[in-house]
Amino acid sequence: MRTSRDIRTANRYGVLRQIIASSPTSRQELAAATGLSLATVATLVGELLDLGMITEVGFEDSAGGRPRGLVAVNAAGGALIGVDIAETYVHVELFDLALNVLARAEEDVRTGGNRPERLVGQVAAAVGSVVAQAGTEAARVLGVGVSMPGQVDRDSGVSEYAPNWDHWHDVPLLDLLGEHISYPLHLDNPLRACAVAELWFGAARGRRDAVVVNLGTGVGAGLVLGGGVHRGVSNSAGEWGHTTLVLDGRPCHCGNHGCVETYVGAPGIMRHLEELSPDSALLRPGDQTATIDALARGVTAGDPVAVRVVRDTARYLAAGIADLVNLLNPEVVVLSSWVAATLGEPLLAEVRTAVARHALRRPLAATEIVLSPIPTDPVCLGAATFALEGALQSVGQRATVRRQPAPARSRTAPPV
Amino acid sequence: MRTSRDIRTANRYGVLRQIIASSPTSRQELAAATGLSLATVATLVGELLDLGMITEVGFEDSAGGRPRGLVAVNAAGGALIGVDIAETYVHVELFDLALNVLARAEEDVRTGGNRPERLVGQVAAAVGSVVAQAGTEAARVLGVGVSMPGQVDRDSGVSEYAPNWDHWHDVPLLDLLGEHISYPLHLDNPLRACAVAELWFGAARGRRDAVVVNLGTGVGAGLVLGGGVHRGVSNSAGEWGHTTLVLDGRPCHCGNHGCVETYVGAPGIMRHLEELSPDSALLRPGDQTATIDALARGVTAGDPVAVRVVRDTARYLAAGIADLVNLLNPEVVVLSSWVAATLGEPLLAEVRTAVARHALRRPLAATEIVLSPIPTDPVCLGAATFALEGALQSVGQRATVRRQPAPARSRTAPPV
């Protein structure tokens, strides 16, 4: 059962999301857009005004009636920090409340896999850097969202397993970060970050059911179901990269064989290129990014090997996407992350054609397949949104004592 | 966004579900079990009392406080009819409001696939038969739920596609039934029927995320996500039987290759037996039910061919179930329908072992795999529950005019 508290939090998300999308806007427009009653919208708008997240910005005429008050997001009402920890780098971005990027920092963490303390130090340095660059007062930072690949326990802040770092197990990431960072911290993984980014700011906004397919070194699917992110019972949902595409197929680091990820992740694409044309000039051994870039340029130039590799990848991808369409019947499938962004429209066109050969007619007819419209790093944006959701979830929390669901772990260490 | 109307309906389902599970019970116990406030529970209990679905049945002492009023389901407060249309038969059952079966009827529809009018006549005759057998006054029948295999449009009442009947397309099933049956009619498919049955009365009760795997001639997965049935944007979700297990594998009637259904549906199991041992005495050509029965007896008797076929089937099934575990991270996976019931514990034991080889550790640790505990036809029970949900959804419907979601199609033709 959803409690009234869950519902109020979800409605608060929905109203702020709509205000960010359409500032300035009136309570009446918000009620129409969200399906909530005007009274509910007025209460939620009042809470957001009290928090300083939005402001009153004047009135609009309403065809002879009383002028309607307009509200808009208060970009300067706070700052949010998103941390994207990946296999080889850490990106950190600082956003205002309209989710504009005010500052960026990056660290190279190729050696970070075996040394949690070093990684934590690098994240802390990058967080300090964006705050300093933006000249943001520490008190304005509402929170820091951290995206960590693999399986994470949101409530305890533990990174349980990182697929590409062999000796990384059960690292208490938020406890370690909390020794350096004094803002509330929120942990989740890139699948959820990309799903939340699309839900708030991208192709899943206003959709009830959407799937955000992440194509990078790792592969997965962030699920938006029933208008919110589906996390599953232990926050592990979305491991589409580890569903079987080819029974007894390529071995996967997860221990299974024939996983989707082994065919459509960047290493799988490189492997296919190598098998097809071992001496191809497109292949940059040991450098996934350069190889995928070279493939994208090759497709544009009409290189037959590049065209073949992208077409074959699209075919694997399409079989896996058809599984998502048949199983979940979403309104939209969004292709996100760097492999999708780099291979772009040519990949999308091949995928659309191939999905139609695999999916059932009725769910296929109801589904669009699109590239992510988010122009910046969606993982940083989504991670910052974890912090925004955390701030909205804690509104009035002290007033509520009964049956309060466990919030995402957040803590405030003594200020640095 | 979920509207307050959606939420009220979901809460009404939750409270009645709890009352049916634990009659007699107090409002205080209901509040504790559902997480709703006592005031909300009191309002919902009042509505159910007004509908005659529950009754006041006395008081219990409350440790020195005021005695607490007890309510119980009013079994005689109405009747519900469930219709299970399958490839070869129609089962119809009439239930009281405690969901006890009061009467059953069955029709043989092996020739029904090409003749909607004949099938509709048979359904109407069986519905008439159960009402007559139970001696139920027509006015007490709250509705008839109809489960039809394949893709159905709930809102229009159209059966769009039936996978095993070649010439069955876009049949306006509820319009045709409405010419014979004067009760409100509700259409959906067996995946949803089994999911709703487990959610209200079986292994998914009280669970937030559950998957009900249907193993019969056709194969699919009813999804319970976020405490309710996930239908997808065009009511097509759950087509797990048409997800790819073996890329370029066995051809499927859906047009794809290597679908889960071609390996673990009854015809796929028969095919495997035939390939393994073409002269096996276990094989009953043309009779799926007899062959699966013979396999179950063979396993009990230690027949090596039967043991091998069940083990191989469990392996295919486990790879497909691991996909559901990794993608959706449910609390429970329920094996339902006649193939699962017939092969029973030996199949379950093999499946549990094999899923552990395919699934990721964290979601696997959070998931139970169980056989359906529902002792009767789960599709009839679930179909009757569609009618129960329809009756609960329409409470106070006339009083609500704004932003009312389209209800499941229901109509009342002139009484017969």
Q: Give pLDDT tens digits for A276-328.
A: 999 999 999 989 999 999 999 999 999 999 999 999 999 999 999 999 999 99
Q: Is the peptide bond before A373 cis (omega within 30 degrees of 0)?
A: no
A274 and A226 fall within a common domain: yes
A242 and A363 fall within a common domain: yes
Contact between A243 and B40 using a beta-carbon 8 Å cutoff: no
Helices (H), A87-220: 116-134, 173-178, 190-201
Residue B141 to residue B137: CA distance in whole angstroms: 7
- CA A187 to chain B, closest CA, distance in angstroms equals 17
Q: Which residue has 């049935």 as its token pair?
A: B229
Final residue of a domain: which of A73, A101, A119? A73
Rounded average pLDDT over B63-86: 91
pLDDT at residue number B79: 96
Residue A368 to residue A318: CA distance in whole angstroms: 13
Q: What is the CATH number of the domain that holds A40?
A: 1.10.10.10
Q: What is the DSSP string of B361-400?
A: HHHHHT-EEEE----S-HHHHHHHHHHHHHHHHTTTGGG-
- CA A332 to chain B, closest CA, distance in angstroms equals 10
Q: Does the residue B139 lie in any domain?
A: yes
3-state secondary structure of A393: helix
Rounded average pLDDT over A193-198: 97
Band of the pLDDT at A415, cuts 50, 70, 90?
A: very low
Contact between B236 and A34 using a beta-carbon 8 Å cutoff: no
Q: What are the tokens at A77?
A: 């009402």
Report the run of H or E that residue A151 belongs to, with start and end: strand A151-153
- pLDDT at residue B111 tops 70: no
pLDDT at residue number B143: 96
B230 and B262 fall within a common domain: yes
- CA B203 to chain A, closest CA, distance in angstroms equals 16
- pLDDT at residue A112 tops 80: no
B262 and B180 fall within a common domain: no
Final residue of a domain: which of A30, A54, A73? A73
Residue B413 to residue B37: CA distance in whole angstroms: 40
User: Degrees (nearest 5) of the Cα angle A369, A372, A376?
Assistant: 175
Longest CA pairwise span in chain A (Å): 74
A93 and A148 fall within a common domain: yes
Band of the pLDDT at B3, cuts 50, 70, 90?
A: low
Rounded average pLDDT over B53-67: 85
A211 and A358 fall within a common domain: yes
Per-window interface: B 247-276 vs A, CB < 8 A: 247, 249, 254-256
3-state secondary structure of A22: helix
B102 and B65 fall within a common domain: no
B219 and B182 fall within a common domain: no
- pLDDT at residue B284 tops 60: yes
Percent of chain B with pLDDT over 90: 79
Nearest CA in chain A to B153: A362
Rounded average pLDDT over A25-39: 93
Residue in B182, B180, B113, B178 with CA at minimum distance from that of residue B148: B113
Contact between B221 and A246 using a beta-carbon 8 Å cutoff: no
Q: Which has the minimum average pLDDT: A66-70, B150-154, B408-412?
A: B408-412
Report how far apart, in Å, the C-alpha atoms of B321 and of each of A52, A191, A241, A382, B264 are.
47, 21, 15, 30, 11
pLDDT at residue number B91: 96
Percent of chain A with pLDDT over 70: 93
Selecting from B14, B228, B326 the residue whose C-beta is nearest the C-beta of A242 gives: B326
Band of the pLDDT at B411, cuts 50, 70, 90?
A: very low
Residue A290 to residue B188: CA distance in whole angstroms: 50
Selecting from B323, B329, B403 the residue whose C-beta is nearest the C-beta of A237 gives: B329
Chain mean pLDDT for chain B = 90
pLDDT at residue number B115: 83
pLDDT tens per residue, range B218-261:
999 999 999 999 999 999 999 999 999 999 999 999 999 999 99
SS (H, E, C) A326-374: HHHCCCEEEEECHHHHHHHHHHHHHHHHHHHHHCCHHHHHCCEEEECCC
Band of the pLDDT at B148, cuts 50, 70, 90?
A: very high
Q: How many domains does chain B have?
A: 3
Q: Report residue B277: phi and psi, to 5°.
A: -155, 80
Q: Does the residue A89 lie in any domain?
A: yes
A50 and A89 fall within a common domain: no
Band of the pLDDT at A410, cuts 50, 70, 90?
A: very low
B212 and B360 fall within a common domain: yes
* The model's pTM: 0.91
Q: Does the residue B407 lie in any domain?
A: no
- CA B250 to chain A, closest CA, distance in angstroms equals 12
Radius of gyration of chain B (CA): 22
Band of the pLDDT at A397, cuts 50, 70, 90?
A: low
Interface A-B: count of C-beta contacts within 8 A: 194
Q: Which residue has the higher pLDDT, B193 or B400?
A: B193
- Chain B interface mutation, best of A43, A152, A239, highest count of B Cβ atoms under 10 Å: A239
Chain mean pLDDT for chain A = 90
Q: Does the residue A41 lie in any domain?
A: yes
Q: Which residue has the higher pLDDT, B4 or B279?
A: B279
Q: What are the tokens at B409?
A: 């199609």
Band of the pLDDT at B401, cuts 50, 70, 90?
A: very low
Contact between A360 and B236 using a beta-carbon 8 Å cutoff: yes
Rounded average pLDDT over A347-373: 96
Final residue of a domain: which of A35, A52, A73? A73
Q: Does the residue B408 lie in any domain?
A: no
Residue A201 to residue A13: CA distance in whole angstroms: 12
- CA A228 to chain B, closest CA, distance in angstroms equals 9
B68 and B90 fall within a common domain: no
Per-window interface: A 321-340 vs B, CB < 8 A: 322-323, 326-331
Q: Does the residue B406 lie in any domain?
A: no
Rounded average pLDDT over B64-93: 92
- pLDDT at residue B405 tops 90: no
pLDDT at residue number A3: 64
Q: What is the CATH number of the domain that holds A100?
A: 3.30.420.40
Report how far apart, in Å, the C-alpha atoms of B231 and of each of A131, A167, B74, B174 are.
45, 41, 30, 19
pLDDT at residue number B47: 93
A144 and A17 fall within a common domain: no
Selecting from A34, A244, A316 the residue whose C-beta is nearest the C-beta of B1 gives: A34
Q: Does the residue A141 lie in any domain?
A: yes
Radius of gyration of chain A (CA): 22
Sign for the pseudo-dihedral over CA of B261, A255, A152, A233: positive
Q: Does the residue B413 lie in any domain?
A: no
* DSSP assigned state of A76: G
pLDDT at residue number B8: 84
Q: Which residue has the higher pLDDT, B286 or A366?
A: A366
Q: Which has the minimum average pLDDT: A337-351, B23-37, B111-125?
A: B111-125
User: Degrees (nearest 5) of the Cα angle B270, B276, B279?
Assistant: 80
pLDDT at residue number B406: 41
Q: Is the peptide bond before A24 cis (omega within 30 degrees of 0)?
A: yes
Do the Cβ atoms of B152 and B158 come closer than 8 Å? Answer: yes
pLDDT at residue number B306: 97
Do the Cβ atoms of B218 and B261 come closer than 8 Å? Answer: yes
Number of H helices, E strands in chain B: 13, 16
pLDDT tens per residue, range A307-320:
999 999 999 999 99
Q: Which residue has 């944006």 as its token pair?
A: A381
pLDDT tens per residue, range B356-369:
999 999 999 999 99
Domain that holds residue B47: 4-73
pLDDT at residue number A396: 58
Q: How many CA atoms lie within 13 A of B201 on its CB side?
A: 23
